[in-house]
Structure 1
């Protein structure tokens, strides 16, 4: 269906018959201790895809016991062996791209082309950290006073809890699991309740590769649960856990940081965003519109790096908005497995309700809906791609992270005004800017409050570069040389 139509979607993809739906603890798939399960839905149809074991507190502690036991051996495994393990996982994921992509689309809704791209993106992180496993540098030197020699070694921090979000189920686990294993850490993974199936498939790939190499399979444990706190609270209170990595909302991240403080845990947090997309008068508008669609509409706008506020200089504001409206109108909304679909559903009904609410609030306050502005009729959790003009900085569609296919356009005059608008948020994950002025680019790098800046491009993330934000968007980095540092402690030896 096009962005302006409302025909009902068709059913989603079938899942592999052998897809694990239990808990992975100590190298074995098993049911939850309570015997309970929770349902995973296809957002394109609302149908139940699978019933997944619902882990409880004791299951979580069992997983940590397995991780702690495996860590004692895994930390001593040669870096080359850890590297080759990850390389084999990379090759297995790549070989099963279509199968994994079908699962991502079934439980998350995104178009198959996006799911395949996510698999490739995730595999690149696995490959990168396979290479980094043998490149952790230490230090050996004579002390400046000449009294002794100094060695600095990097040692794995210990068992880690990895809590992943639903919107990129393979990419987010790859960004955490690969550096943890490369560094010599064992892990307990808590996948998102909405999309646990992709994690199960990846975990089975890793488990099989570990077993084939006679390495400790308890290095990777997975505890899906309908209650995140039921898993995180007992684990964060257990002194055997030494690391927490979380991707999700700022509100939940702040709560986890408070809990982690009692155990003095190493933490890395990739939290919320409210990304500005700056378009200056001298921008290449064709490139800016193409970048805007990429930055906004990937996964139907349900990404932490999605452009959330389109700040356009007055000289090109009308033309840019008209072109963006036309581009959004050409998008094809439908089930992710339907050929030609470019925009899939939102993840659940509450997401549709929230997007509907913030758009309605903006409309009531005087914004103009240029295209979209309504949910799709029929089955599934769909909302049509939407462009809002005449938006003001106080509207919720601007101040909040929308997490949906909505592009609010605000106009600004001077460069200073644009920068001030861009920074007028407690978040600072990523920003985008389109300009042909090199001097302006350099000024923006100094003045924009964000952990990442995309210049004349709508996508910035790369396995070889540090991913993360500032302010309320979190702390720590994933990817690049910095990614593995989150899982090691430097040890200074004086001799």
Structure 2
């Protein structure tokens, strides 16, 4: 069956919009395919071994994604650690202003980011829009609440946060987490998911970088980069969202360290509830969590409740 596209939504049109919006993040065309850059050491660089990225829509090649080796990743982490020290000392008011600037730029390109997700991971249009909107709306809420959250002398982490996330929610999971981490005074490092979302994340991080945010975006195999992005001594914390197998490997790699980490493994999550006052509503919240686990065909979440 022939693929029917609305005017202006073909991949060639969508990619042209992405390149026009953030030309610094894209390399020249070679053999009819554009190669993405990696955001390392504070700038977009043509480094890595190109690998073709195909769309689940019709299996055609979208772009080339350059995969980095461990040595290049180590250098990027070292640079991110230096940027983290400067960012951690940046006043909260300035951090909020820069994150808000990034949010405004992302909002201006909302439809482009959503359309990239349609092509890259096969999200239906409405779900792609929801993924972008949840990220933007969620971070704007944190911008309003971050002063209260950091009250009492809470300090940034000792090093940048390393983010490894699954392919299915590039904006509402990965970019959302990074922007909140940046608000809290931490530089961020993100690994591009191998299964999709590379162009969307590239455009998003280019807009974040333009706003002066200390973000790093690396691409490469988990086997090649995991040791660096999880165990490098400069890393202040690891945030992982993905499958149980890879999550288990990350957890095992952190067993002999005191590095802070957050790991979500396909529903194998502990839920902590502190200072919770609406006890008449708690049962309904628990029930929703179990129903969500059923919908994902995963193990039910476990809950830990502390009542003062």
Assess if the C-alpha contact under 8 Å between 1:186 and 1:220 holds in 2.
yes
**Residues 190-243 of structure 1 deviation map (CA, whole Å, 9 limit, x = unaligned):** 020122111111110011111xxxxxx5x2111011x11211212323211120
Measured in 2, the distance between the counterparts of 1:237 and 1:445 equals 35
Taking the TM superposition and a 5 Å limit, the aligned residue runs for 1:73-88 are 73-88=86-101
Give SS of 1:245's match: strand
Over 3 Å counting, the alpha-carbon distance change for 1:167 and 1:442 in structure 2 is closer
Alignment of 1:95-244 (within 5 A): 95-139=108-152, 153-157=153-157, 158-195=159-196, 196-210=198-212, 219-225=214-220, 227-244=221-238
- TM-score of the aligned structures, taking structure 2 as reference length: 0.78
Taking structure 1 as the reference length, the TM-score comes to 0.50
Q: Quote the Cα distance in structure 2 between the aligned partners of 1:127 and 1:452.
A: 29
Q: 2:256 aligns with which of 255, 262, 270?
A: 262
- After the TM superposition, which residues 56-455 of structure 1 pair with which residues of structure 2 at under 5 Å, given as runs? 56-139=69-152, 153-157=153-157, 158-195=159-196, 196-210=198-212, 219-225=214-220, 227-273=221-267, 427=268, 445=285, 448=287, 451=289
Q: Which one has the bigger helix percentage? A: 2
| Distance across 2 between alignment mates of 1:22 and 1:228 | 18
Report what 1:41 is aligned to: 54
Unaligned 5+ runs, structure 1:
1-6, 140-152, 211-216, 274-426, 431-439, 459-468, 476-495
Q: Partners of 1:179 and 1:254 in 2: how far apart?
A: 25
2:29 is aligned to: none
Contact 1:429 1:452 in 2 (8 A): no
Equivalent residue in structure 2 for 1:9, among 3, 6, 13: 3
In the TM superposition, what whole-angstrom CA distance separates every residue of 1:236-282 from its partner, at most 9, and x where no partner exists? 23211120001101221111011122232111122213xxxxxxxxx
C-alpha distance in structure 2 between counterparts of 1:86 and 1:134, whole Å: 14
Distance 1:470 1:267, change over 3 A: farther
| Distance of 2:4 and 2:61 partners within structure 1 | 14
**Secondary structure in 2 aligned to 1:104?**
helix
User: How many residues are treated as equivalent by the alignment?
Assistant: 267
Divergent runs of 4+, >6 A: none
| CA RMSD after TM alignment | 2.7
The Cα of 1:429 is off from its aligned counterpart by 8.3
Report the structure number with the largest CA radius of gyration: 1
Measure, in 1, the Cα distance between the counterparts of 2:149 and 2:283: 34
